[in-house]
Structures are given as structure tokens and as C-alpha cells.
Structure 1
Amino acid sequence: MTTTTSHTPESEGTADGPARSARLIQNEATTEIPVHLLFRDDPDPSPVPLRPAVVSRRQGTGEQPRLRRPAAERPCPVPEADPDLAERPARVLPGAVGVLAGMCGAAGCLATSWWAGVLPPLAVEALRLPEYAGAGLGPLQWTAYAAAGALGLFGLGGLARGRTGRAWVLDLFGRYRGTVRRTGLLWVNPLLLRRRVDVRLRHWRSEPMAAADASGVPLRVVVLVVWRVRDTARATLGVEDHEAYLRECVEAALLRVPVEMPGGARGAADAAGEALTRLVAADSAPVGLEVFSVQPARVEYAPEIAPAMHRRRIAALDAQHRASVLGSVVDSVEDTVTRLTTRGLVELDDYERKALVKDLTVAFCAGRGEQGP
């Protein structure tokens, strides 16, 4: 802090004695402050520890700038997976158990009908049952009917067929009860809610998404994603729609990773694919998705700037072609003049050499123009 201390002349004495000299502090941004007002009038003041202080600089005051500590860069927060929600195998039984329970329920219904005497005579003869007059449909018969029917429905209703590459997520009143990855005929508790999940390796080709290159030019990118469901519980219950969540992760990654147009720097496409794969895999892991590859399949300019960028690209190619043609013409002219002078066919001074070079350059350029690129 730049300050200028000025001493005013001592005032003339008064009746009480000589006046006290006023010591002042003054700078370009503040008014005059008496120095003695900054301290206490203690006869023996206790020492005050001094610490280095840096003040902020105001515009036009000439003061030193404030030294600010750079803010620590915080990484983007990644959602944490629910530790209680993890895939575990569900308790299921072989399908033969459900078939046996269904057969027992059907046999119980037939036996109850024969007991009540309501079984048709043809069925009695076919089943070779003894003739029985029947006790009629009473409370006991209805109870037997209900028990046999419930057993049959419970056994046959729980039959399910497991397929390779498919899984069931079981849910009972909103509580996760396990995942079934087994194949073949199985019996699953019919009271459980079943959610079918595809756990095969899948390829997803996105629609054109917004992106940008290293210079900030807007692009439209079609991305090919190779992924699969690793944890069925988190993919089904941890997020509303895991496919929509994966699409949002890809869009967010495209906004953070620059993508180059085809024909750009060598290795730029591979670097962009690796960065996209790393970001999308990290963002989708908490919901049970495993991402193997995220690669740009098609890159093009955004519709609003596509005509201008195409004209710019054509102009750059034309300039490159002209530069290559001019370089080849200059080489041809130099080679021709060198051969003529080296072999002693002509003797040229500086003026004649310049004229010959000019004529040869015009001739070669005209010939290249007629031949085309």
C-alpha cells in the first residue's frame, strides 16, 4: 500500500502551551487521517503481533492487487450406487415342482367332485371310479374345492421358462427379492412381480447428437455404443429407464470431449473414442451398466453452418492444390534453366535469365491449366 506521510507545520502556541503536532497519513484514495488516532493512549501499551496484510486494489488508486488463492478444481460429482441395491440370485424351484402341484390340484378337484356326487357318469367310467351316490355340495366340499384349486393355480401359475441372455428381476410389494438368470423350466413364486431384462451384449446406434470440435465449431455426431447390463437390480430399480440414462450420459460426454471431422489429425478419432468410452463408462457404472466402446460413427457439420464450412473446406483444398501446382512449376522452371546453362546451350545474363524464367513459368502454368488438376 503506497502512502505518503506529510508533516504539517506546528501550530503556534496557545495560552495552555505549545500545540501538538498533527501527523497525517494520506494517499490518492483516502482523506487525511491523523496518525495518533490509530493507536491507544496507553502509557505502556502491550505489543500487538503484526501480520502481513494484502489489500485489494481499486481501479485508479495505484494500490497493490490482492493476492487470491486459486480455487481448487473440483471434479464433477459422480452418483454413488446404492450399497443395499445389488444383484443377488433369487430362490426358485425346478419346474417339475410346479407341474406336480398343478396335477395334485386337478386330482383334488376330481376327487372332491366324485365325493360330492357331481362327477358325470362318463368321467366315472373313464376313471374307473367306484359308484358313489355322493354327499352333495356342502361346506366341506366347497372348502376342498378351494384348497385344490388354489394348489393347482399356485403350482401352474408359477411356471416360467428361462432363456439364455434374459433375466428376471423379482419384486415383492416394492422390495427387491433377487434376480433369476437360470435357463429352462422353473417355478417362481407367482406373488412376485417379474421384470424381464436383456443381459446380452448390445449395440446402440444413436441419432445425430450435438458436439463440437477443438475450435468450438458445432457438429452433429452419430455414436455407436457397445454395452450390456451388468447389475440387473440397479439397472431396473436404481433408475427409471436405463436405456434413456445411457443416452443422456452419451450426450453429456459429447459436450465435454472435442470430436474431429474425418480426415483430421491422425489419432484424433481414437483419442476421442477413448475419452468418450471412459466418461460414459464412469457415469453409467452406478446404475449397473457396463460400457465397452463409444465410437463416433458419423461426423458432420451442424445444419446452420454446413454450407459455410463446405465452402471454406473447398477453398482450402483449392489453395492447397494451387500451392502444389506452383511448387511443381517452380521446380520445373529451375530444372530447365539449370540444364540449359550447365550444358552451355545458352549464355544468359541476369536480365535474360529473369525473362526466360518468366516465359517458362507462364508456359508451364498455361499447360497445367489446360491439363486440369
Structure 2
Amino acid sequence: MTSAETGAAAPGPERVRLIQNEATTEIPVHLLFRDEEEGAGPGSGMASVFGPAQVPAAATGSSPLPGNAPLPGLARARQGSGEQPRVARRPQRPAAKAAARPVLPVDPSLAERPAAARSGVLAVAAGAVGLGGCGAGLWWAGLVPPFVLRLARLPVLEGAEPGPAQWALLAGSGALALCSFGGLGRGRTGRAWVVSLFGRYRGSVRRTGLVWINPCLKRRRVDVRLRHWRSAPLPAVDAQGVALRVVVLVVWRVRDTARATLGVDGHETYLRECVEAAMARVFSQLPADAFHGDGATLRNAEAVGDALTRLLVADAAPAGLEVFSAQPTRIEYAPEVAEVMQRRRIAALDMRHRESVLTQVVDSVEDTVTRLTLRGLVELDETERKALVKDLTVAFYTGHGDR
């Protein structure tokens, strides 16, 4: 056992100070191990729709940390004691079960992939060869009328009769011509085909121009251009339960043709229903108007549009749809409450105007009385001062009212 350990074990008459000017201060234990975690505030529900809430520095009672500041969660060391910063011990709390939105299922077999397609020029050439073979088979079998042979300047075969060879040539040439011309199609820019065989997805064709596709496959044409959908006035309810009528403009396109065609029963109908569902979530978080304050309202079209867009992007992705923006173009009250809410809005505006005018009048009166007193133009006692303030207030307020 070393001398240092012996000295630590045996109590001495007095404690030897390693630092002569050491000064210690008693600090409550609960301050050293204080839990600085903040619980979920009352606005956690709206943060899930309108994005994460930003807490200002003044609300937490601390200023932004500089580059060399200690990390939060470390207790401050006692000054002059040489003590290292202590890590605050936080009690283990059970993890809160967040109400996460269920993820919509996606069928992995319905991912878009290119289908087999050939150039239409080759199909036309093959069809011409098939038609030529059919004509040669008819001539070989003697089934061509004599006047057609004379017009075509072809010799007449004596004793020509249909046989197995002639019928085989006719069948093969006819099948080639039918298959070649039957699979021709005109691919347009911004359009695509979704092809399937006996209900099974075989691929998508996005080629343009003259295209040949297997004629045995079933084709469904899909518009993949950038489109916008302007809704009719849709019913909605704000946070105060007031009925609204909202018009929404959605900019979208079909990104995955397989999911949009085979994954849902009508992707346009699905998009409309997603818009109504997103509106019900977003518009129920805020009031339409703040009559007695400057709080957040649904009149902030940018914030409301961003929240709608985020919800629609998440809901439309499993259906192969890509939503670029969803903006409310008109928010108005329902006809049954429009007149009442209009009167309430006018009353609120009139009240704010009166408060503003009254504030200006009081400031003007105060400034006038102060100047008169400081310059020694008048000497007023308390009664005369109150009378002057009253007269000036009436005069200034009347003057503001005549404007």
C-alpha cells in the first residue's frame, strides 16, 4: 500500500490544501443533476402537420451557445475548485408512444418496368412481306382471277390447284401480315401504354412515334404529362368548428404507370379523395380568422399549402402519383355562416381601428401637455391639468373622426 493510499485511509488532524486560495461553495444536488429535457408542448399535434415547432431562445431563458461554450446537459464546475464538469444524470423515462401514421402498403410486383416494343418501320416491312406472300400463294394456287393477272401482267399457271403447300404459304403469310399490322401503334409524347397479358402486368411502353407491340397484349393508355386539378368548392371545418368552402389547386403527374393503372381503381378519383382527407387534417388545426389577436390562421396560404403538399405526397406515392404542390386558391365561409362571420370581421376591424386612433390621441395629448408645461407657457394645478387633458382628448379624437 503506498503512502498516498495510507494518507487517504487514515484520518489526519487537518486537511492539507493543494490549492492555497481554494474557495468552495455548497451547491444543491438537484441543480447538478437537473433534468433539462422538455416535454411535448400543447402544440405537438399541430407540429405534426405544419412542421416542427421552433422554440425561440427567449422562451428557454438561454441565449444561443457560442462555439466554445459547454454542451447542454453538463453541469457547471465550481469556480476555483479544479473540478471537471459533471455529466447530468437523467432518469430513464419510458419512451412515449408516438401516434405514427400507418404506412400505406405497396405491391412490389407493380413497379414500372419497360415492356418489349419494336420499331414500327420493321413491322411495316414485315407486314408488306406477309401481304406479298399471300398474293404469291393465291397466284400459286390459281385463285387469282384472270383479269387481275392480266392487269398485273402475270402469267397464268396451267393446272394450278390449291394444295398443302399453297395453303401453308397462305396461312403463314396471312399470320405474318396480321401480326405485323395488328401490333402497330402511334406513341405520343406525354402518353404511355400499360400492357398486360391475361391480367398479369407485362410492362410499360413510353416510346414515341410508330411502335410495334405484341397484339396479344392488352393495352391501357395513361397520360404522364404534368397536370393540374382545380377542385370544386369542397366543404371543410376550421379549428373552431366553422363551416368553410375551399378551392384547392393540385399540380401532379403519373410517375409509376403500373401502380397508377393497376394499383388503384382510378388514380384521379384516388387523388381527389386524398385531397379531401388532407384538407380535413390541415384545416382543423387552425381557425380561419383571428378576430382578437395576431395568431396563426388559415389565411397564411404558404404554410397551409406546404402542409397540404406534404400530406398529399405521402398519400399519393403508393399509387404511383407525384404531387408537386397543393395550394388553396380560395377560402371562404359557408353560405349559412358567411353573413354572421362578415359582421364579426367588420366589428373586429372597427375595434382595432378605434384602439389605434385612441392610442394616437392619447400620445398626442401627452406630448402637447408636456411641451406646454416644460416651456413654461402654462402653470396648471391638478384640476386644471385634468380639464386640459379632457378637452384636448375630445378635440383630437373628433379631428381624427372627421378624416
Q: How many residue pairs are counted as aligned between the two chains?
A: 303
Deviations 1:180-222 (A, max 9, x none): 1112211101111110111122222222223333434332222
Q: Could you tell me the percent identity over the aligned residues?
A: 66
The 3-state SS of whatever aligns with 2:138 is helix
Question: Aligned-pair distance for 1:240?
Answer: 0.7
2:325 aligned counterpart, secondary structure: strand
- 1:330 is displaced (CA, Å) by 1.5
Given the alignment, which residue of 311, 318, 332 partners 1:300? Answer: 332
What is the Cα deviation at residue 74 of structure 1? 3.9
Change (3 A) 1:70 1:131: closer
- Whether the aligned pair in 1 keeps the contact of 2:240 and 2:287 (CA below 8 Å) is no
Question: Gapped runs of 5+ residues in structure 2?
Answer: 1-93
Provide the secondary structure at the position in 2 that maps to 1:234. helix
2:196, 2:276 → 1: CA distance? 32
- Distance between the aligned counterparts of 1:285 and 1:342, measured in 2? 73
Give the conservation status (yes or no) of the 8 Å contact 2:192–2:204. Answer: yes
> Structure 2: how far apart are the matches of 1:317 and 1:133?
105
Instruction: Tell me, yes or no, if structure 1 residue 240 matches structure 2 residue 272.
Output: no
Which TM-score applies when normalising by structure 1?
Answer: 0.73
CA separation in 2, counterparts of 1:328 and 1:288? 59
5 Å-filtered alignment, 1:313-352, equals: 313-352=345-384
Name the stretch that deviates more: 196-205 or 245-254. Answer: 196-205
- 1:205 counterpart letter in structure 2: R
Give the CA RMSD over aligned residues: 2.7
2:236 to 211, 214, 222: 211
TM-score, normalised via structure 2 length: 0.68
Secondary structure, counterpart of 2:111 in structure 1 = coil
Is it true that 1:160 corresponds to 2:185 in the alignment?
yes
Equivalent pair of 2:119/2:210 in contact (CA under 8 Å): yes
Contact 1:168 1:195 in 2 (8 A): yes
1:86 matches 2:118? no
1:272 aligns with 2:304: yes
Question: What secondary structure sits across from 1:277 in the alignment?
Answer: helix
- Contact 1:228–1:290, Cα closer than 8 Å, also in 2: yes
* Structure 1: runs of 5+ lacking an equivalent: 1-68
Contact 2:248–2:326 (CA<8 Å) still a contact in 1? yes
Give the conservation status (yes or no) of the 8 Å contact 2:249–2:326.
yes
CA distance in 1, matches of 2:206, 2:155: 48
- Residues 1:243 and 1:134: Cα distance change in structure 2 (over 3 Å): farther
Q: Distance in 2 between matches of 1:262 and 1:116?
A: 88
Q: Cα distance 1:74–1:357, how it changes in 2: closer, same or farther (>3 A)?
A: closer
Structure whose CA Rg is larger: 1
How far apart in 1 are the matches of 2:263 and 2:348?
51
